[in-house]
Amino acid sequence: MLGSKVVDKLRERGRDAVAASPKTGVNALTGEGLADALTGADVVVDVPNSPSFEDDPVMEFFTKSTTNLAAAAKAAGVGHYVAVSIVGSDQLPKSGYLRAKVAQEKLIAQSEIPYSIVRATQFAEFTDAITASMTVGDEVRVPDALIQPIAAEDLAAEVARVAESEPLGGIENIGGPEKISFEQMARAALARQGEVKTVVVDPQVGYFGTPLSMNSLVTA
């Protein structure tokens, strides 16, 4: 979703961007192809995603891939490490996915490579899947919280801008243009799909294993 769009944005801006993923022979978990992909690179943009969102595999994915990528980036003399994380991740330790993103952020901050972390809100393209994950039969049970969907294209433009800029040495947050309730998100998703289901706001419902408060997932 995101990586290919970042590559497009960088190329549109006249940058020499190398798309690197298992499909192009580069594997951040095994290290295969990393050294070649990074030869001559000024910046690395770390945006793979874990095939599993289960607690242990997702922790292993983000810690191992970022450890390998940072070591390869350091060896190649890369001067800027850019990664994408999630708004509010450090406030929601009950989510295994978000714990893994925070562990990834820490590895980057400790890597001794100048870095920028862009924490983003949920992709707009992901809201159908979020709604489906909260659906049981004819009912969608959603948390009593806000969400701020961002188009992956808009995030890609910001990640490309950050990659071209001086390292932040820290974290910036970016969210979509509107904060809406999970209820509104679910109703919009159902309307798009032409589905008729009951949407119930249930404060007990969490998000990827974590309870939410109203503003957990949105920018300040």
Phi/psi for 155 (5° steps) reads -65, -40
Here the tokens at position 116 are: 């920028």
Closer CB to ligand NAP, 177 or 198, in the complex: 177
> Shortest approach of ligand NAP to residue 59 CB, angstroms?
13
Q: Quick one: residue 153, left, alpha or beta (phi over 0 = left, psi -120 to 50 = alpha)? A: alpha
> Shortest approach of ligand NAP to residue 43 CB, angstroms?
16
> Shortest approach of ligand NAP to residue 29 CB, angstroms?
4
Closer CB to ligand NAP, 113 or 156, in the complex: 156
d(CA 208, CA 60): 17
Closer CB to ligand NAP, 22 or 209, in the complex: 22
Residue type, 156: A
Q: Is 148 exposed, middle or buried (0-12, 13-18, 19+ CB in 10 A)?
A: buried
d(CA 79, CA 70): 11
> Shortest approach of ligand NAP to residue 24 CB, angstroms?
7
Closer CB to ligand NAP, 51 or 200, in the complex: 51
Q: Are 180 and 148 in contact (CB under 8 A)?
A: yes
> Shortest approach of ligand NAP to residue 32 CB, angstroms?
9
Q: Are 200 and 139 in contact (CB under 8 A)?
A: yes
Closer CB to ligand NAP, 54 or 139, in the complex: 54
Q: Are 152 and 212 in contact (CB under 8 A)?
A: no
> Shortest approach of ligand NAP to residue 128 CB, angstroms?
12
Binding region for ligand NAP (CB under 6 A): 1-3, 21-23, 27-29, 47-49, 65, 84, 86, 101, 120, 122-123, 126
Q: What's the Cα-to-Cα distance from 169 to each of 82, 88, 155, rounded to whole Å?
A: 10, 18, 19
